[in-house]
A and B are shown apart, each in its own frame.
Chain A
Amino acid sequence: IPLTQSPSSLSASVGDSVTITCRASQGIASALAWYQQKPGEAPNLLIYDASSLETGVPSRFIGSGSGTDFTLTIASLQPEDFATYYCQQYNTDPLITFGQGTRLEI
C-alpha cells in the first residue's frame, strides 16, 4: 500500500508547531506508525496505532487520523526535533511500506 507524505521538506523555527501529512492509497484503519531519523542514526519510533505515543517520546508529538489520512503534529519545536520523519503502514503486516519521508529543517 503506497504512502504519500507531504510536504517532502519544510522549514520552521524553534517554538513553532508543524504538521506532516501521510496519505495511504487505500484504507489502513489505524495501522500507522511515525518515526524520526537523524543523520547517521537508525529510525526511532514515535507514534503507533496512529495516535499512541511510544514510551519515552515527548508529548509534543501528536498523531492523529484513520483510514487513509494521517497527521503528525509537533507542537513547540525543540532544537532536537529537526530531523527526517517517516510514516509506515502495517495494515498488511508483515508486508509493510514506508512513506518517502519529510525533512524538517531549521
Chain B
Amino acid sequence: QVQLVESGGGVVQPGGSLRLSCAASGFSFSIYGMHWVRQAPGKGLEWVAFTRYDGNKEYYADSVKGRFTISRDNADNTLYLQMNSLTAEDTAVYYCAKPKAIFGVVVSLFDSWGQGTPVTVSS
C-alpha cells in the first residue's frame, strides 16, 4: 500500500534552514507530481509547493516563494523541501501528499498523506 514518511522536522532559530524529506513507497513515484502542504498549530491546511513528476517544473505559494525549494529524487523515491530564511510564521506540521489518479489522469487532490513532520521556528 501507499506509504509516505516525512522526516527532518525540528526546532530551528529564525533565519535558519531545514530540509524535509518524504520517503515514498507502494506506488510509481516517478509518474506522480507531488505536493507539500502545511498546517500551523490550531489552523487550517495551507498548500506550500508542487513538483512535476520529472522534477523539471515547480510551483510555490506566495508565502514561501524565494525561500523554499521543492525537489525530488526519482531513483530514491524521495521528495524534499529545502526551507531557508525561516520565520515564526513557518511553524507548522508539514505533510507530503500524493495526488489521486482518476481514470489514469493525475489530479491535485490527495488520496494519501504522510503522518507529517513538525517544524518549530523559535529563538
Query: Is the pair A42, B107 in contact by a Cβ cutoff of 8 Å?
Result: no
Contact residues in A for B44 (Cβ distance below 8 Å): 86, 98-101
Set B46, B50, B111, B114: member contacting A54, Cβ < 8 A = B111
A37–B45 Cα distance when bound, in Å, is 10
B46's partner among A43, A90, A98 (CB-CB below 8 A) is A98
Task: Identify whether the interface residues of A are mostly helix, strand, loop, or mixed.
Answer: loop
Is there contact, CB below 8 Å, between A95 and B59? yes
Which of A33, A35, A54, A96 has the most CB atoms of chain B within a 10 A radius of its CB? Answer: A96
The CA-CA distance from A1 to B115 in the complex, in Å, is: 27
Give the shortest distance, in Å, between B64 (CB) and chain A (any CB): 13
CA distance A48 to B106 in the complex (A): 13
Report the separation of the CA atoms of residues A93 and B33 in the bound assembly, to the nearest whole angstrom: 11
Among B45, B110, B111, the one with the most A-chain Cβ atoms within 10 Å of its Cβ is B45
Known interface pairs A97-B47, A101-B44; A45-B108 also in contact (CB < 8 Å)? no
CB of A88 closer than 8 Å to a CB of B: yes
Measured between C-beta atoms, what is the minimum distance from A29 to chain B in Å?
12
| Chain B residues, CB < 8 A from A49 | 102
- Docked pose: A86 CA to B108 CA in angstroms: 15
Binding site for B on A (CB under 8 A): 33, 35, 37, 42-45, 48-49, 54, 86, 88, 90, 93-101
13 contacts between A and B (CB under 8 A): A33-B110, A35-B110, A37-B45, A42-B116, A43-B45, A54-B111, A88-B109, A90-B107, A93-B107, A93-B108, A95-B59, A98-B45, A100-B44
Q: A48-B107, A90-B108 are in contact. List 19 more A-B contacts (CB 8 A).
A: A33-B109, A35-B110, A37-B45, A43-B113, A44-B113, A45-B110, A54-B111, A86-B45, A88-B109, A90-B107, A90-B109, A93-B107, A94-B33, A95-B47, A95-B59, A96-B35, A96-B108, A97-B47, A99-B44
Binding site for A on B (CB under 8 A): 33, 35, 44-47, 50, 59, 95, 100, 102, 107-111, 113-116
